[in-house]
Amino acid sequence: MGGKLDLTKMEFPSDQLTVGAIRRLDPEVFASRNHGEDDYLGRLQFFQVLAHEMDLAVLAFAKAAGAPPPDLGVSREEFAQQLLIDYEKIGIGSGPASRQALLQKIESDAVAQARSAEKGGIPR
């Protein structure tokens, strides 16, 4: 097993969100600029979605590379289920099958990187 997952080379479904879509998702965050704890932009649901997409990729990469999965606190199934809920709420994908295909794409891209690393190739 060699190599490391390069998340910068991956495209995630949440990449298609615009700033306007993010603002509509969590308008309270953008309601004021009182730099206190109530205004912390890191609590945006968008960032949680992106983190879950990355975690899903990390788990798929580890499995494909034959490495033990990192302890992320929840299972692959829990990440996937939450992403499907979030995608529907945010408006990513045109229906359940479309959203499921997006998850499969994340995992297949991570698996492709793992296989490329095994062969000594450069990930795309």
Residue 67's Cα: distance from chain center in Å? 20
pLDDT digit string (tens) for the chain, length 124 residues: 567 899 999 999 988 888 787 777 777 766 655 555 554 444 566 778 888 999 999 999 999 999 999 999 999 999 999 999 989 888 889 999 999 999 999 999 999 999 988 776 544 4
User: Could you give the CA distance from residue 7 to residue 89 in angstroms, rounded to a whole number?
Assistant: 24
Retrieve residue 77's tokens.
């199934």
The answer, as to whether pTM is greater than 0.95, is no
CA 124 – CA 78 distance, rounded (Å): 28
* Burial classification of residue 44, based on how many CB atoms lie within 10 Å of its CB (0-12 exposed, 13-18 middle, 19 or more buried): middle
Residue with tokens 């060699």: 2
User: Rg for the chain (alpha carbons), in Å?
Assistant: 16
| Whole-angstrom distance, CA of residue 107 vs CA of residue 3 | 16
- Name the one residue in this structure whose structure tokens are 């229906």: 95
CA–CA separation, 43 vs 28, rounded Å? 11
